[in-house]
């Protein structure tokens, strides 16, 4: 689920778990080079030596990409990328290619790893539907919050501009973070993820801007909803409607048909946009439906740039 499916019977065909061998969905075949040559970009590893010591990160170090021109006197947005089930932060970055955007648009960037379950697969303990299959229950929400706190201690993070981007299991985890830490998370973008099916399981303390991107031909996390190990997850439209209600948005969206070219494997501008405005505190909720898109669409550069543009346009007030 993510760059590989959570169940063999319900996955996109011939998809493996490494970016070097992914075949069916035109995922990048090599990890992109770090964009540090010829600039003052840096990669800093934060672990036990952080200004804030936290046992949840002591054995789970992570890298922080610091963009060129970073100025410690200026509050800077923070974007965190969460990988899919069986993938990793590096593999997800190879697919989403957010680091070049962090360099060009000047935001701090982290793509951490989940933990390894009893199946030997890396995962996030996100919603009830996804994806603690082996009974493991790491407090990944605490881990991610510790990362945000530690990065904020090391750098001048804009507290109004902390964002999450997730794919599949990482999308589910992004929704959990939005539900439990709305006071910190300004916005999330989820590709092929879903929120809690039971709306009472999510009680955001304030609005969080939400971008849900989903292929209509996704056979792993179905656009129209389904279940994982008998636990239901909502459809992409239901996920969006839940957050329209949480954020107090207008219930009638602005609909634009075939306006985005997000999937290079589908001819032309294949994606529709439903935008819900009038939300509280300047938040917004959007659904980008990739007509014919799979669980691992052949993403164009418009996908990553569009996701980042949406998030950076929706800081907290």
Joined together, the tokens standing for residue 116 give 């390894």
The whole-number pLDDT of residue 4 equals 46
Using one digit for the tens of pLDDT, what is the confidence trace for 170-187? 999 999 999 999 999 999
For the CA atoms of 32, 37, 39, 45, the dihedral, rounded to the nearest 10 degrees, stands at: 70
Say if residue 142 is exposed, middle or buried (CB neighbours under 10 Å; 0-12, 13-18, 19+).
middle
What mean pLDDT comes out for the span 269-298?
Answer: 98
Q: Is the pLDDT of residue 261 over 70?
A: yes
- Report the mean per-residue pLDDT for the chain: 87
Q: What is the CATH number of domain 8-312?
A: 3.40.50.1820
Confidence of residue 7 (pLDDT cuts 50, 70, 90): very low
Comparison of pLDDT for 19 and 191, the residue scoring more:
191
Confidence of residue 136 (pLDDT cuts 50, 70, 90): confident
| Angle at alpha carbon of residue 126, lines to 120 and 129, rounded to 5° | 90
Rounded CA-CA distance 285/276 in Å is: 5
Q: What is the pTM of this model?
A: 0.87
């Amino acid at each position: 689920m993510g760059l590989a499916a959570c169940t063999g019977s319900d996955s996109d065909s011939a998809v493996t778990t490494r970016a070097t061998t992914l075949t069916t969905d035109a995922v990048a075949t090599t990890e992109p080079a770090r964009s540090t040559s010829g600039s003052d970009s840096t990669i800093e590893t934060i672990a036990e030596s952080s200004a804030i010591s936290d046992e949840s990160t002591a054995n789970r170090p992570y890298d922080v990409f610091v963009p060129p021109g970073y100025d410690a006197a200026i509050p800077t947005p923070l974007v965190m990328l969460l990988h899919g089930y069986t993938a990793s932060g590096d593999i997800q970055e190879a697919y989403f290619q957010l680091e070049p955007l962090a360099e060009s648009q000047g935001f701090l960037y982290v793509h951490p790893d989940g933990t390894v379950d009893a199946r030997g697969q890396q995962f996030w303990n996100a919603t009830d539907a996804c994806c603690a299959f082996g009974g493991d229950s790491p407090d990944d929400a605490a881990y991610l919050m510790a990362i945000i706190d530690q990065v904020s201690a090391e750098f001048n993070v804009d507290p109004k501009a902390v964002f999450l981007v997730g794919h599949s299991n990482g999308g589910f985890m992004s929704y959990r973070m939005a539900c439990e830490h709305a006071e910190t998370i300004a916005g999330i973008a989820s590709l092929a993820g879903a929120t809690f099916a039971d709306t009472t399981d999510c009680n955001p303390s304030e609005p969080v801007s939400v971008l849900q991107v989903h292929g209509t031909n996704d056979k792993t996390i179905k656009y129209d909803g389904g279940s994982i190990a008998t636990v239901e997850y909502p459809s992409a439209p239901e996920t969006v409607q839940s957050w329209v209600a949480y954020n107090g948005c207008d219930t009638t969206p602005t609909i634009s048909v075939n306006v985005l070219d997000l999937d290079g494997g589908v001819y032309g501008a294949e994606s529709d946009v439903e935008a819900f405005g009038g939300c509280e505190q300047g938040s917004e909720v959007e659904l980008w439906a990739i007509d014919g898109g799979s669980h691992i669409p052949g993403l164009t550069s418009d996908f990553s740039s569009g996701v980042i543009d949406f998030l950076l346009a929706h800081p907290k007030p």
